[in-house]
Structure 1
Amino acid sequence: MKLKALNGFKDILPADIELWQRVESCARDVLARFQFSEIRLPILEKTDLFARSIGEATDIVEKEMYSFVDKGVTMRPEATASLIRAYIEHGLYVQRPVQRLFTIGPMFRHERPQKGRLRQFHQLSVEVLGADSPRLDAEIMAMGSMIMERLGISVSLEVNSLGCPDCRPQYRENLLTFLAEREEHLCDDCKRRIVKNPLRVLDCKNPVCREQVADAPSMAENLCDVCDDHFAVVRKSLDTLGVNYSLNKFMVRGLDYYCRTAFEFVTQDLGAQSAVGGGGRYDGLVAQLGGPKNPGIGFGMGLERLVLLLQQQKQDESRRIELDVFVAGLGEKASELSYGLVHELRQAGLRVGMDLDGRSLKSQMKQADKAGSAHVLIIGEDELASGKGVLRNMESQEQQDVELTAEAIHKHLAG
């Protein structure tokens, strides 16, 4: 039987790594501008952590978590709960009143694998704990937009307010009244959600359900004065920062802990998987998990989807440079000299390739081209005799003689 990766689990091959590194490097650069520090978290957590934070009525907890039932532990389906657990456990709120933290790593959900959605997926998770200013909400969204812009990815920002424990109960009653009249037309999942968490009905992707709730009352129409004022400042601050956005009254996010500001970055280029990132405010979650009554806000971005978007962009068709020089040694003596020379060039900081199997010049030139080398240094019997190799520019095909020393070769390549 041919060995293959598990369904929904994917190898990230060397040809794709450059885009992954580009995404991570860009994110780290932008996050540093906003004073964020990295935290690294374990993959396994107690199952109760996610049941308490995400919500027992969510699809994630009910259907999608990879749990070791006999051990009471779960492979993390998202990072916010784990990060807050670490925040509480290590007393980070004592060290600094406001913590700006991020983490990058794999998450696990037992979903139906499809384009942009895997069972092991990688996520950038960004959290700010200990601040409740609505201006911070706008700043976080502006930071997410900046990451997208620097990557050259076109997305739109959708924003909503989910209210708070003071105004949400009345909205819930209004929504229940609306849904009761349409319950028979809803899918089985939504019928169950009506009982446990009716707001999740608004998030259903079933076309029939979406049609049924098209005229549903919105949370924005039922906000208390405090939440209404908070959301007004968020929108004004987005305008001040020059961040384009649209209001989406049906956005509720997939997790129970969100309150007030919620947002998503969406694209039209990935089919049904339109969201490439999203998050919101979760002011009660730290206290809910046993910590102080500190507010919080954050977002997550799916790295697989960002990489897919980069792959779909119109790429520059010019030849991509992966190596500074490929050394082609012809014959045993030339190969022996080349072997030591390659190591010296690498020590000098150059990216250098070499064939170790004694192939022909034609074969080595093909290797160099496939490897994306800017130059090829050819060393044969004549070159050994003269002490000078032939340095060929792979783009212009121009050639020049160069002394067979690491210093001379480095000087030619730098010039």
Structure 2
Amino acid sequence: MSINAPRGTQDILPGASEKWQYVEKKLVDLCRRYHYKEIRTPIFEHTELFQRGVGDSTDIVQKEMYTFEDRGGRSVTLRPEGTASVVRSFVQNKVHGSPNQPTKYFYIGPMFRYERPQQGRQRQFVQFGIEALGSDDPAIDAEVLALALDSYREMGLSSLRLVLNSLGDLESREAHRNALIRHFDPHRDELCADCQVRLDQNPLRVLDCKKDRDHPAMATAPSILDYLNTYSKEYFDKVKEYLDVMGIEYEIDPNLVRGLDYYNHTAFEIMSDAEGFGAITTLSGGGRYTGLVEEVGGPATSGIGFAMSLERLLMALEAEGVELPIDEELDCYLVALGEEAEKVSVRVAYQLRKAGIQVDKDYLGKKMKAQFKTADRLGAKFVLILGDREVEENVINVKDMVSGEQKEIPLDDIENHMKKQLLGGE
């Protein structure tokens, strides 16, 4: 019986993994420039963290979490998103007491959601995200938005669109909530079962429903922008002003709603307009939140962040035809013939690897012609050839696979010679 990977998961094989390494390295470097530090949290947490942090009314908590009891009878959940875990760590480790505020984190790691697999959406997926905790300054909202856009632009993507909204503070949201209930209640029986529940629990999420998106009542739903109080309006205006200062283009969508319960004020998504990207154009999203730190036992602290799926990032790169500068060539391939030459080749390979040079060799006992074919398939820049004569004379033949030129080099000088060759020649 053959055993395949579980549905909604995938193997990332060599040839593809180098692309993942490249984008991850670029994202880490971008975060370094914005002065965000990496945090690594457990892959599973107590279920209560996500129930309280993400929100009981969300699809994530109600339908999508991988939850189970451990051997001690405790309910644990594979993390479906990154923010709740970051906030839990922020509280547990009392980082809020540090004099260096705001606290600026980034993370990269696997997340798990039980949903219908489709292109760019898996049950196990890799998420990159950032969180900035401890500041109510609209300027840091603009910084997060800029970092989010740069995450894509630095990869070479151009068909991007930043969509922005304000969800207001608690007072504004409550006024909007009541208006939504009054608007949708006459149509309650026409809405899907989920939205009928959402209308009582969190009516803002009715606007995010995929099933009812074409219902006529959606087009005439009250806009949150009409219910923003003075503070919320001024906050939103400041965020837009800072984006204008940076020359970042955006569009306002008053119906933009994030799928998690803890958002307020700034909410945003980055969309791909690339032809052939797919029906779901959202690349990433995020926003500002308050109350989440308090919900998991910390002091009143606001935050803002965003998250992206690396699978969807790679999809967007493919849709725009962006070729990542991945060097798949091999520096050196060692060809050895004879028992003594084999021993020396092991020593030479180890020596060159310690010097920072990429080296491979034959481990199948192939003849010389077959070894050269292997070197060619691997894209070796140089082939290093050892036989009985070379061992006796303490030399090694170095063949340039591009020019075809071959030189005999003293074995004692091979490290220095290869360093010079791979740095651009002597």
State TM-score, norm by structure 2: 0.90
Matching of residues 113-262 of structure 1 within 5 Å: 113-154=117-158, 155-206=160-211, 209=214, 212-262=217-267
The aligned counterpart of 1:267 is 272
Alpha-carbon distance, 1:319 to partner: 9.1
The one-letter code sitting in structure 2 at the alignment partner of 1:243 is: I
Bigger mean CA offset, 326-335 vs 168-177: 326-335
Bigger mean CA offset, 108-117 vs 405-414: 405-414
Alpha-carbon distance, 1:317 to partner: 10
Alpha-carbon distance, 1:220 to partner: 1.4
Bigger mean CA offset, 88-97 vs 124-133: 88-97
The aligned counterpart of 1:102 is 106
Q: Structure 1 382/310 Cα, relative in aligned 2: closer, same or farther at 3 Å? A: farther
Alpha-carbon distance, 1:359 to partner: 1.3
The aligned counterpart of 1:73 is 76
8 A contact 1:286–1:294 mirrored in 2: yes
Matching of residues 358-377 of structure 1 within 5 Å: 358-377=365-384
8 A contact 1:402–1:409 mirrored in 2: no
* Alpha-carbon distance between aligned partners in 2 of 1:409 and 1:78, rounded to the nearest angstrom: 47
* Alpha-carbon distance between aligned partners in 2 of 1:317 and 1:90, rounded to the nearest angstrom: 39
The one-letter code sitting in structure 1 at the alignment partner of 2:2 is: K
The aligned counterpart of 2:116 is 112
8 A contact 2:161–2:273 mirrored in 1: no
The aligned counterpart of 2:53 is 53
* Alpha-carbon distance between aligned partners in 2 of 1:368 and 1:157, rounded to the nearest angstrom: 47
* Alpha-carbon distance between aligned partners in 2 of 1:317 and 1:101, rounded to the nearest angstrom: 26
8 A contact 2:18–2:326 mirrored in 1: no
The one-letter code sitting in structure 2 at the alignment partner of 1:122 is: V
Structure 1 residues 39-94: Cα deviation after superposition (integer angstroms, max 9, x where no partner): 21112222111111111111011111111254222111111111111111111111
Does residue 338 (structure 1) correspond to residue 345 (structure 2)? The answer is yes
Q: Structure 1 323/231 Cα, relative in aligned 2: closer, same or farther at 3 Å? A: same
* Alpha-carbon distance between aligned partners in 2 of 1:319 and 1:235, rounded to the nearest angstrom: 37
The aligned counterpart of 2:422 is 413
* Alpha-carbon distance between aligned partners in 1 of 2:260 and 2:147, rounded to the nearest angstrom: 22
* Alpha-carbon distance between aligned partners in 2 of 1:319 and 1:141, rounded to the nearest angstrom: 28
Q: Which runs of 5+ in 1 are unaligned?
A: none
SS in 2 for 1:327: strand
Alignment RMSD: 2.4
* Alpha-carbon distance between aligned partners in 1 of 2:327 and 2:35, rounded to the nearest angstrom: 33
Alpha-carbon distance, 1:136 to partner: 0.9
Percent of residue pairs identical: 42
SS in 1 for 2:110: strand
The size of the alignment, in residue pairs, is: 415
The aligned counterpart of 1:300 is 307
Alpha-carbon distance, 1:208 to partner: 5.1
The aligned counterpart of 2:329 is 322
8 A contact 1:263–1:280 mirrored in 2: yes
8 A contact 2:111–2:126 mirrored in 1: yes
